[in-house]
């Protein structure tokens, strides 16, 4: 069990006050809080610093030339995010540059997670991009490349977690969004899994947003999910 628990709560909003209220409510039950691109572009470092209660996963999905990505990672090190994301499609040198920049902060540096194939891309969309592989093949190819290039782990869909755990072994960190408690509407997440099932299939952490932040009592919703994966 990771320190603080396996639940990551996604605080997806541009409103700093709303994010702070959610953070206060769910922090007792969350291993991490996730801030994404929309929050960070709207509120910047000051908004990030106002989110307290649990370590923060900064989900910026960086993708640029190695020098620029390394600079981006170094730029957020003073905020002490616990996790950062990059796109594996940026290639080996870019992933390695992100890893080295993160390690420049020593043991306090964030772990680097790679995103393989966006779950919004199906086989036809990959074909349009010139990728002949199936999504599963491409996920595995990019996942291996990322880990060999210094990434600590991967963000992956519920459908990929068992395959990646089996292929890449126990040390690779797997972080899994697309989580829906039993009976909860899937919203725009087409491929979902319950929290307990995702952990049983090999997830180190699960990411859950709207089933918690959209609940009448976000603290209670987070507590119920945390209890289901203890």
Residues designated as active site: 61
Report the residue number, 105 or 224, with the smaller CB distance to ligand C5P.
224
Task: Report the alpha-carbon distance of residue 133 to residue 3 in Å, rounded.
Answer: 37
Task: Report the alpha-carbon distance of residue 120 to residue 191 in Å, rounded.
Answer: 10
Task: Report the alpha-carbon distance of residue 23 to residue 43 in Å, rounded.
Answer: 15
Report the residue number, 74 or 141, with the smaller CB distance to ligand C5P.
141
Task: Report the alpha-carbon distance of residue 62 to residue 105 in Å, rounded.
Answer: 18
**Stretch 48-87 residues interacting with ligand C5P (CB under 6 A):** none
Indicate whether 119 belongs to the interface with ligand C5P (CB under 6 A).
yes
Indicate whether 194 belongs to the interface with ligand C5P (CB under 6 A).
no
Indicate whether 144 belongs to the interface with ligand C5P (CB under 6 A).
no
Contact 156, 176 (CB under 8 A): yes
The three-class DSSP label of residue 9 is strand
Indicate whether 31 belongs to the interface with ligand C5P (CB under 6 A).
no
Identify which range of 21-29, 87-95, 158-166, 201-209 contacts ligand C5P by CB under 6 A: 201-209
Contact 114, 97 (CB under 8 A): no
Count of residues near ligand C5P by CB under 6 A: 14
Chain residues in the site for ligand C5P (CB under 6 A): 10, 12, 34, 36, 119, 155, 157, 177-178, 189, 207-210
């Amino acid at each position: 069990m990771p320190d603080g628990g396996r639940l990551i709560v996604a605080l997806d909003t541009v409103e700093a006050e709303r994010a702070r209220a959610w953070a206060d409510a769910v922090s007792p039950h969350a291993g991490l809080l996730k801030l994404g691109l929309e929050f960070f572009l709207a509120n910047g470092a000051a908004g990030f610093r106002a989110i307290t209660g649990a370590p923060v996963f900064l989900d910026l999905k960086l993708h640029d030339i190695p020098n620029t990505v390394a600079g981006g990672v170094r730029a957020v090190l003073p905020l002490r995010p616990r996790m950062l994301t990059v796109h594996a499609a940026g290639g080996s040198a870019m992933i390695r540059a992100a890893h080295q920049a993160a390690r420049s902060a020593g043991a306090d540096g964030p772990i680097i997670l790679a995103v393989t194939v966006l779950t919004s891309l199906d086989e036809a969309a990959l074909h349009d991009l010139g990728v002949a592989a199936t999504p599963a093949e491409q996920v595995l190819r990019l996942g291996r490349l990322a880990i060999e290039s210094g990434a600590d782990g991967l963000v992956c869909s519920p459908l990929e977690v068992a395959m990646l755990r089996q292929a890449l072994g126990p040390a690779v960190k797997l972080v899994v969004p697309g989580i829906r408690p039993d009976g909860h509407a899937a919203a725009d997440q087409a491929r979902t899994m319950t929290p307990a099932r995702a952990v049983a299939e090999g997830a180190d952490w699960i990411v859950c947003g709207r089933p918690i932040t959209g609940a009448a009592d976000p603290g209670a919703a987070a507590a119920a999910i945390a209890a289901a994966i203890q």
